[in-house]
Structure 1
Amino acid sequence: MQQPGFFDLMSFGPGGWGPAMLTGALVTLALALCGFAIGAVFGAVAAFAKIAGGRIARTIADIYTTVLRGIPDLLVIYLFYFGGSTVLTSIGRLFGHDGFIGLPGFATGAIAIGIVSGAQHTEVFRGAFRAVHRGEIEAAIAAGMHPFLRFRRIIAPLVLRYALPGLGNIWQIVLKESALVSVTGVVELLRQAQVGAGSERQPFTFYFAAAILYLVITSLSSITFRQAEGYFSRGVRRSR
């Protein structure tokens, strides 16, 4: 019996794996978006602590970035998922619940990825703030802008302009790290490819299809970040 070809397996018709692979790609994209957003929040807070915080805040931020950048990402996911489930199970037993209580795999994975990427966000934001010319901030102060308006109109747009190239790199890293979340039971793109490969016994076909989908996502992401860089660099003279 002849095995089905690539387009037969990836079709959207009866017996095709197209819908399942596309769903896995959407789960991957959702994981990456959530993790990236969470990481941006942690990174902004830690960067602020390093720039304007006191000694204790700076120390905590330094420990955060050092530890999270030195521990493998998969280990962080394991610690959050199994550690958090163990804590919930212990709390449940105090209230008479008998059995294991597991954390939601998607939420746990997104938080773990976000906290890990937050360490990278921190350095990107801190470097971008240092790149802002001091005279631009002093001019805003001289114009009488209060701190919030100064941050919204001057500091935030300039920091984002300088941070975008680094944020684009972090996004690509987060996108690839989303494949690690499959250890929590989440069926993302790579996990779906593994399921299809085992079911149809054609691993190359499914992994090749997964690679194509990853490349599509990364290519569209690169275009988006380039457009964002162009938008925030309006009015800036580029050197030739």
Structure 2
Amino acid sequence: MYHYSFLEMISFSTGYGKPLLIGVAMTICLAVAGFFIGAFIGIFGAWAKLSGGYIARSVADAYTTVLRAIPELLVIFLFYYGGTAAISALGKFLNVEGTLGFPGFLAGSLAIGICAGAQHTEVFRGAFNAVHKGEIEAALACGMSRFTRFRRIIMPLTLRHALPGLGNVWQIVLKESALVSAVGIIELMRQTQLAAGSTGMPFNFYMLAAAAYLGISTISGFLLQLSERRLSRGVRR
């Protein structure tokens, strides 16, 4: 009986190379979608904490407190099964035949984004507070409109201070994407589990998955460093 080597098992022609690569792409798509959903929420959450009224601040405080206390896997289950129940109820109301389910990718992206939004809120809030008030006052003295002031002064300076924190949020989101396999999405971790179970080489495939996550993190960190250098041009260190 012929025994395949590990290199043959991960080949793109007869092995698991192509499915694993598709899993890597799915992991990146989930992480990117969740990250930007979280960033969108975080912008409004930071605004509510910084400039909102009592109700807006209370809602933002409750959101960040609750979401940072609940496990991410529980949020994914709530979105997936809650969404499936809602769609099924809507299908019955509309007399739609067949089984209806909430898309796993959408549930995973929304759940990751909702969880990441709490982290983004605090990152943006801290970054805005790090902007020197004199720079904003200088923009006011120059007669800039509110939109111009935000576009040319507040947003670039806030983003410069936020980038290190955003890098940490990205790492968290990337690792949280592995939890989405619990609702049937075949991303890198789920595909690794399938390959490990089918070949009887769990250590080899899990080490390969670890190397893939490390590679994504390393490339992401390099791109973030380039962004930090670009935004910090002309700033004395």
Q: In the alignment, is the contact (CA less than 8 A) between 1:197 and 1:203 conserved in 2?
A: yes
| Partner residue, 1:6 | 6
Residues 170-224 of structure 1: CA deviation (Å, up to 9, x unaligned): 0000000000011121100000001111111211121111111111101000101
| CA–CA distance in structure 2, aligned partners of residues 52 and 224 of structure 1 | 32
**AA paired with 1:3?**
H
Structure 2 counterparts to residues 52-201 of structure 1, below 5 A: 52-201=51-200
Per the TM alignment, residue 100 of structure 1 is displaced from its structure 2 partner at its CA by 3.9
Q: Distance in 2 between matches of 1:101 and 1:226?
A: 44
Which residue number in structure 1 is paired with residue 235 of structure 2? 236
SS at match of 1:193: helix
8 Å contact kept, 1:89–1:99 = no
Measured in 2, the distance between the counterparts of 1:3 and 1:233 equals 55
* Structure 1 gap ranges (5+): none
Q: 1:77-123: per-residue Cα shift (whole Å, max 9, x none)?
A: 00010011111111211122355421110111001100100000000
Q: Distance in 2 between matches of 1:70 and 1:132?
A: 29
Task: Tell me the amino acid that sits aligned with residue 124 of structure 2.
Answer: F
Cα distance, 1:231 vs structure 2: 0.7
Q: Distance in 2 between matches of 1:28 and 1:145?
A: 42
- With normalisation by structure 1, the TM-score equals 0.96
Larger mean Cα displacement after TM superposition, 124-133 or 196-205: 196-205
CA distance in 1, matches of 2:6, 2:217: 22
Distance, in Å, in 1 between the alignment partners of 2:100 and 2:185 is 16
State how far apart, in whole Å, the 2-side matches of 1:6 and 1:237 are.
51
CA–CA distance in structure 1, aligned partners of residues 114 and 99 of structure 2 = 25
Distance 2:231 2:4 in 1: 48
Aligned length: 237
Tell me which amino acid in the other structure corresponds to 2:3: Q
Amino acid at match of 1:4: Y
What code does the residue aligned with 2:17 have? G
In 1, distance between residues paired with 2:113 and 2:139? 33
TM, length-normalised to structure 2: 0.97
